[in-house]
Amino acid sequence: MQNAHRIKQEICDIGRRLYNKGFAAANDGNITYRLNDREVLCTPTMHSKGFLKPDDICLIDMQGNQLAGRKKRSSEALLHLQIYKERDDINSIVHCHPPHATAFAIAREPIPQCVLPEVEIFLGDVPITKYETPGTQKFADTIIPVVKDSNVVILANHGTVSWGETVEQAYWWTEVLDAYCRMLMLARDLGKVNYFTEQEERELLETKAKWGFRDPRNEKRMENCDVCANDLFRDSWTSVGVERRAFEAPPTMKRVGASMAPQGSTGVARSNGSPVAAAPAATADQEALIQTITDRVVAALQNGAAR
């Protein structure tokens, strides 16, 4: 049986990391953990996530009723509970307003894919859900169409929500996403974003499958798609108000094995958007990068198993 006090302590620790990273201003953000199919630990409302004590954590049921705790539960509990109802394979959820990812939420700019190995391995395509007033069931329901195909979601004009088996894992995906959004903005300001070739992207997706991480892009329905140009969630873009404005679409890929396929990354100039072949990328660099990711994942899994 799990130790509820230890999990409350972990929620406090992750709350401090959220606050120190600037992901949750004032009393923003909330964290939950599902103890069993009837009880969920939940951070309190109107309380900074940077200064939580285990005693501050509430206990609620699957309808959002408070079962224990001297402080009132977060008003965003319904969002968390809806995600738990849709995903019985995860136990913790982190919601916050990290500035770089939230900038994409406000601009309603889709997250470009095929740029950074960590993002392809750990996140995959990141959806943006429709805006609704926070705290309502209608808001909680916006997550339903995408919740099975992702582990982190951008909430339009609001923030992010991510989930995992542990509190720390649920937090990781938010941190990976916000760092990525920041890097994208910096690279764009330098004038150019380089995208992987199809072969480079397929190698990452194969690695991901080997490690046992699910990715809808590896499944039948995406088999013959241009893997970088076809965002898994593009069908929802019109209704959500999402449109590519700040970043060009990745260039259409040449099929793997095509004789004239360029080696290395394909560059897209921001000024006119015409595909430009970049200098050949060193294959050794790519392999070293994949090795680095492997080492990190193994370390993370060992770390998780030791808890």
Considering the complex, state which of residue 159 and residue 164 has its C-beta at the smaller distance from Zn ion: 159
At closest approach, how far in Å is the CB of 270 from Zn ion? Answer: 32
Considering the complex, state which of residue 15 and residue 112 has its C-beta at the smaller distance from Zn ion: 15
Considering the complex, state which of residue 18 and residue 184 has its C-beta at the smaller distance from Zn ion: 18
At closest approach, how far in Å is the CB of 76 from Zn ion? Answer: 6
At closest approach, how far in Å is the CB of 131 from Zn ion? Answer: 12
At closest approach, how far in Å is the CB of 134 from Zn ion? Answer: 6
Q: Which of 137, 155, 2, 130 is nearest to 63 (CA)?
A: 137
Q: Which of 103, 254, 275, 234 is nearest to 177 (CA)?
A: 103
Q: Which of 32, 34, 44, 41 is nearest to 73 (CA)?
A: 44
Considering the complex, state which of residue 155 and residue 268 has its C-beta at the smaller distance from Zn ion: 155
Considering the complex, state which of residue 60 and residue 105 has its C-beta at the smaller distance from Zn ion: 105
Binding mask 253-272 for Zn ion (x = CB under 5 A): --------------------
Q: What distances in angstroms separate CA 8 from CA 11, 141, 202, one per listed residue?
A: 5, 27, 40
Query: Could you write out the three-class secondary structure of 125-189?
Result: CCCEECCCCCCCHHHHHCCCCCHHHCCEEEECCCEEEEEECCHHHHHHHHHHHHHHHHHHHHHHH
Give the range of 17-25, 82-90, 136-144, 154-162 binding Zn ion by CB under 5 A.
154-162
Q: Which of 47, 41, 45 is nearest to 16 (CA)?
A: 47
Nearest-CB residue for Zn ion: 159
Considering the complex, state which of residue 97 and residue 208 has its C-beta at the smaller distance from Zn ion: 97
d(CA 205, CA 125): 12
Give the range of 4-12, 159-167, 182-190, 252-260 binding Zn ion by CB under 5 A.
159-167
165 is catalytic: no
Crossing angle of helices 167-190 and 283-305, in 10° steps, is 160
**Which residues contact residue 89 at a Cβ distance below 8 angstroms, ignoring those fewer than 6 apart?**
165
Question: What number of chain residues touch Zn ion (CB under 5 A)?
Answer: 1
At closest approach, how far in Å is the CB of 119 from Zn ion? Answer: 23
Q: Is the dihedral of CA 301, 51, 21, 131 positive or negative?
A: positive
At closest approach, how far in Å is the CB of 155 from Zn ion? Answer: 7
At closest approach, how far in Å is the CB of 79 from Zn ion? Answer: 8
Give the range of 141-149, 156-164, 169-177, 219-227 binding Zn ion by CB under 5 A.
156-164
* Strand blocks (E) in the chain: 30-34, 40-42, 58-60, 66-68, 92-96, 128-129, 152-155, 159-164, 192-195, 266-269, 275-277
Relative to beta strand 152-155, strand 128-129 is: parallel
State phi, psi for 16 to the nearest 5 degrees: -65, -40
Where is 13: in which H helix or E strand?
helix 4-20
Give the range of 85-93, 108-116, 152-160, 193-201 binding Zn ion by CB under 5 A.
152-160
Binding mask 193-232 for Zn ion (x = CB under 5 A): ----------------------------------------
Considering the complex, state which of residue 127 and residue 159 has its C-beta at the smaller distance from Zn ion: 159
Which residue is catalytic, options 76, 120, 168, 175? 76
Give the range of 61-69, 155-163, 174-182, 233-241 binding Zn ion by CB under 5 A.
155-163
Residues forming contacts to Zn ion in the complex (CB under 5 A) are 159
Catalytic residues: 76
